[in-house]
Amino acid sequence: MQRISIDPITRLEGHGKVEIFLNEAGDVANAYFQIPELRGFERFCVGRPVEEMPILTNRICGVCPEAHHMAAAKAGDAVYHVDPPPTAKKLRELLYSAFYVTDHTTHFYALGGPDFIMGPTAPVAERNILGVIHKVGLEIGGKVIQARKYGHTVIEMIGGRKVHPCTSIPGGLTKGITEEQRKEIEQMGRWAVEFAQFSLKLFDDIVLGNQAYVDLVVGDTYSHRTYYMGMVDANKHVNFYDGQISIVAPDGERIGMYDPRDYTDWIAEHVEPWTYLKFPYLKKIGWKGFVDGKDSGVYCATPLSRLNAADGMATPRAQEEYERFYATLVTEEAKRYTATGDTKVVHHRLATHWARLVELLYAAERWVELATDPEITSPQIHTVPQETPTEGVGCVEAPRGTLTHHYWTDERGILTSVNLIVGTTNNYAPITMSIKKAAQQLIQHGTVVTEGLLNQIEMAFRAYDPCFGCATHSLPGQMPLEVIIRDATGNTVDVLHQHC
Amino acid sequence: MMEMRSANHCHSTEDGIPKPRILIIGLGNPLLGDDGFGWQVASRVECALQEQSKTIGEGETRSSMVKPTSSAVVEVERLAVGGLRLMEELIGYDAAILIDAITLGQQPVGSLSIHSLESLPTYPIGHLYSAHDTTLQMALQMGRDLVTKLPDTVWVIGVEVVPTFIFSENLTPSVMAAVPCAVQMVLEKLHQMIEEVL
């Protein structure tokens, strides 16, 4: 059996390794996505006060500390059985909306965008954000930096720190905002709405305006028929901060909605011998292996999943884009898979980049909505906990998927147990499936591996925006991409390197 | 006189003349064992500079390591970011020193090394790279293309580590032993940079 190794993966948070095993005919037999898991966090937390968790957990990950901060804060509320005042919830969601704008902007322009704007087969030295701004225009770079700057400013105003927020505590927040700050936040939010619309227009022009890219997006190589998960509000519209978890089947049927605290009724974890990380799946459907279909419990939790799992967006411009998204991408072929001949589900994984931009617009609009809410400057930002702490679950939609924190404490609020299901973990099985499928279709009969070809395999998981581990650990000083090809006896026949 | 500031303070001026700004950043995750090296060094550097600033202000003995030959604003920060986010932190500064845990694989664990940023490769080393966006070098190039004020000089002081994936607030003994020397290296480099910037 031949073996192709991609190690580590470029532009992927943390470092992972893809191994592709070929059979003697030169076709892909198996593909494995292996990652080093950060270990011992639960044990690290036990014995600490639960109110420390919003500070502690946001250091798990250097990419989305705001998501861990929010999930931990909500879990802290639940542990103390306390309901924060409306203003505290709105301020948290406002911070979170600004975070989404920065995060989705960065992914589109620095990670996903280069594949389309520069092209999947462009030299790797050009397939990055520098290539993007030089091709599309320097002003694009300025807008990206501006969007991030505004997001960071709001996060610091509400979260107290520019990188790792520290103001959420059980029962609410430690500080509110002034009217002067509110005005500034509103002004920045209105700019962010325009920027999100600009980004969607850019996607239209560059991706949807190029038939080759459209074919790539809607082609079978990057499609999977899995279940989808996402948080929705009372109207079943996408919500990042609070709500129930909606699950839809591959044919679009909603099979249920659950309160985050009931997650163990819905989610179970499968173990494979070749990786430390577990594979979450839908308990009611069951684990049937790394396979598509309604009988397989594999689910996905991404921007695309959130749109699939919801009935719409809660803001007007994002709703327009949501409708355009489905009007464009739900194909007649997809409808044939359903009992009723109709569906509202998109399975094309590369469409996740478009879905992310729809969410970007929603986040920006929500930012403005909350900044103009009459209650947002109220001094009522904290409810003092009165009850004995016990156990609680906090859940938010991290940009990379549904994030669940579950804490148990003694009567003093000292942690006795911790369980986390992080965003990307939800997607471990579908990522593995996508890599294998892309590899199977792009490497056949011993086809010579080229840099562009390997990047297209990477594109299969880059759409998920995977974030294993974090930016907060040392990375090995080795090539960002190394390809080892072995013959059927395991001997190395070629080694290819790719630089960022 | 060298002026010690916490990060994020406004650009200081004296007689209307902007003072050069130098940023020292300890990079890493303080919860992830040896990855917290940069934070520990930065904290000690901050203490040393505060002490020195105080003694200079009182007209007492100056530090042997940092000779405040002229005016400069030195700020110390501890961060767990890379790529674009790290570049954004450097906007507005004239020079910077980054302290990080790195894995070059050429020296024993605990070995210290100093590099100009330009001399380092643009693939993952410590926190100079965020796989979520880009390398610091590329981010700085982007910033300069956008005519953003960024440091002309960036030095990286690194300690060799074995990457860890187990949460801990403690450094391993060999990395811990390198902390005092790293503090001295930062202070020496800082003094050199002040003279060069001025």
pLDDT at A398: 94
Chain A nearest-CA residue for B33: A473
* A393-431 residue pLDDT tens: 999 999 989 999 999 999 999 999 998 888 778 998 998
Q: Which residue has the higher pLDDT, A492 or A30?
A: A30
User: CB B122 to CB A477 under 8 A?
Assistant: no
How many Cβ atoms from other residues are within 10 Å of residue A156's Cβ? 16
Residues B20-48 have a mean pLDDT of 92
Chain B residue nearest residue A36, CA to CA: B165
- pLDDT of A65 > 90? The answer is no
The pLDDT assigned to A490 comes to: 53
The CATH number of residue A159's host domain is 1.10.645.10
Q: Is B135 on the interface with A (CB under 8 A)?
A: yes
Lowest mean per-residue pLDDT among A104-113, A165-174, B74-83, B125-134: B125-134
pLDDT at A480 (0 to 100) = 40
Picking from A337, A356, A380, the residue at the C-terminal end of a domain is A380
Distance CA A365, CA A314 (A): 9
B84 neighbourhood in chain A, CB within 8 Å:
106, 110, 129, 145, 148
Q: Which residues of B132-160 are buried (b: 16+ CB within 10 A; e: fewer)?
A: bbbbbbbbbbbbeebebebbebbbbbbbb
Q: Which domain holds residue B126?
A: 2-197
| C-alpha closest to that of A41 among B96, B192, B167, B16 | B167
CA distance B67 to chain A (A): 32
Query: Residue A247: is its pLDDT beyond 60?
Result: yes
Residues A306 and A169 placed together within one structural domain of the fold: no
Q: Is B129 at the interface with chain A, CB within 8 A? A: yes
Q: For residue A474, what are the domain limits?
A: 2-36+431-498
Residue B148 at interface with chain A, using a CB cutoff of 8 Å: yes
Question: In the predicted model, is pLDDT for residue A235 greater than 80?
Answer: yes
Closest chain B CA to residue A498 = B123
Q: What is the pLDDT of residue A448?
A: 55
> In chain A, how many domains are there?
3
* CA-based nearest distance B122→chain A, Å: 7
Identify any residues that bridge with A382 across adjacent strands, giving them in sequence order.
A172
- Give the CATH number of the domain where residue B173 resides: 3.40.50.1450
Shortest Cα–Cα distance, A69 to chain B (Å): 15
B88 contacts A149? CB cut-off 8 A: yes
A282 lies in the same domain as A243 = yes
Predicted pLDDT at B14? 53
Cβ contact, residue pair B133, A473, below 8 Å: no
pLDDT of residue A333 exceeding 70: no
**A134 and A99 co-located in one domain:** yes
- Please report whether residue A58 resides in a domain: no
Kindly list the residues from chain A whose CB atom is less than 8 angstroms away from the CB atom of residue B165: 36-39, 469, 473
For position A169, what pLDDT does the model report?
95
| Chain A contact probe: residue of B132, B145, B148 with most A CBs at under 10 A | B132
Closest CA–CA distance from residue B194 to any residue of chain A (Å): 27
pLDDT-derived band at A475 (thresholds 50, 70, 90) equals very low
Which of A58-72, A290-304, A341-355 reaches the highest mean pLDDT?
A290-304
Q: What's the order of all strands across the beta sheet hosting A244-248?
A: A254-258, A244-248, A227-232, A299-300
Residues A217 and A331 in one domain: no
State whether A216 and A358 are in the same domain. Answer: yes
Show the CA angle centred on residue B61, arms to residues B59 and B63, nearest 5°: 120
Give the model confidence (pLDDT) of A134-158 as tens digits: 888 888 888 999 999 999 999 999 9
**Do residues A295 and A171 share a domain?**
no
Residue A66 lies in a domain: no
Under DSSP, the state recorded for B169 is S
Window from A48-52, A210-214, B68-72 with minimum mean pLDDT: B68-72
Higher pLDDT, A222 or A244: A244
pLDDT reported for residue B18 = 75
Closest residue on chain B to A149 (Cα)? B88
pLDDT level of residue A432 (50, 70, 90 thresholds): confident
Residues A262 and A298 in one domain: yes
Chain B closest-CA separation from residue A344 CA (Å):
31
- Tell whether B35 lies on the interface with A, counting CB pairs under 8 A: yes
Q: A-chain residues within 8 Å CB-CB of B125?
A: 475, 477
Query: With bands split at pLDDT 50, 70 and 90, how would you rate the model's confidence at A473?
Result: very low
CB contact under 8 A, B167 and A14: no
At residue B122, the pLDDT reads 62
Res B19: pLDDT: 80
pLDDT of A162 reads 79
Say how many C-beta atoms besides its own lie within 10 A of residue B113's C-beta.
Answer: 14
Least confident of A91-100, A263-272, A349-358, A454-463: A454-463
Of residues A9, A470, A474, nearest to B103 (C-beta): A474
Cα A109 from Cα A143, distance rounded (Å) = 10
Q: What is the mean pLDDT of residues A352-370?
A: 97
- pLDDT band at B22; cut points 50, 70, 90: very high
> Average of pLDDT values for B27-46?
91
What is the model's pLDDT at position B104?
Answer: 78
Over residues A51-70, mean pLDDT: 84
Share of chain A above pLDDT 70, in %: 84
Neighboring chain A residues of B145 at a CB cutoff of 8 Å = 130, 133-134, 138, 141
Within a domain: A42: no
pLDDT class of A63 with cuts at 50, 70, 90: low
B119 contacts chain A (CB < 8 A): no
Residue A134 lies in a domain: yes
Q: Which residues of A are less than 8 Å from B132 in CB distance?
A: 11-13, 62-63, 106-107, 110-111, 467, 471
Say which of B35, B129, B133 has its CB closest to residue A472.
Answer: B35
Specify whether A98 is located in the same domain as A215.
Answer: yes
The predicted pLDDT at position A437 comes to 85
Together in a domain, A118 and A179? yes
Size of interface A-B (CB pairs under 8 A): 168
Residues of A with Cβ-Cβ distance to B129 under 8 angstroms: 475, 500
Instruction: Determine the pLDDT at residue A84.
Output: 98
CB contact under 8 A, B31 and A44: yes
User: Within a domain: residue A414?
Assistant: no
Contacts of A107 in chain B (CB under 8 A): 132
Mean pLDDT for the stretch of residues A86-97: 98
Q: Is residue A411 part of a domain?
A: no
Q: How many domains does chain B have?
A: 1
Domain contains A295? yes
pLDDT > 80? residue A375: yes
Instruction: Tell me: do A162 and A116 sit in the same domain.
Output: yes
Contacts of A162 in chain B (CB under 8 A): 8
Do the Cβ atoms of B29 and A152 come within 8 Å?
no
**pLDDT of A472 strictly over 50:** no
pLDDT at res. A110? 84
Between A7-11, A14-18, A209-213, the lowest mean confidence (pLDDT) is in: A7-11
* Interface-testing mutation among B23, B32, B98, B149, with chain A (most A C-beta atoms within 10 A): B32
| Average pLDDT, integer, range A474-498 | 45
The confidence score (pLDDT) of residue A70 equals 96
Are A477 and B132 in contact (CB < 8 Å)? Answer: no
Interface test with B, best of A474, A481, A499 (most B CBs within 10 A): A474
Asked whether residue A413 is assigned to any structural domain, the reply reads no
**Identity of the amino acid at A311:** D
Residues A318 and A262 in one domain: yes
Pick among A132, A155, A473, A482 to test the B interface (most B CBs inside 10 A)? A473
Residues A23 and A169 in one domain: no
Reply yes or no on whether the pLDDT at A455 is more than 60.
Answer: yes
Give contacts of A14 with chain B, Cβ < 8 Å: 131
How close B159 comes to chain A (CA, Å)? 11
* pLDDT category of residue B111 using cuts at 50, 70 and 90: very high
Contacting residues of B for A39, CB less than 8 Å apart: 165-167
Which residues of A fall within a CB distance of 8 Å from B104? 477
Q: What is the pLDDT of residue A38?
A: 61
* pLDDT for res A450: 63
Chain B nearest C-alpha distance from A288 (Å): 30
Number of Cβ atoms within 10 Å of the Cβ of B2: 23
**pTM metric for this prediction:** 0.87
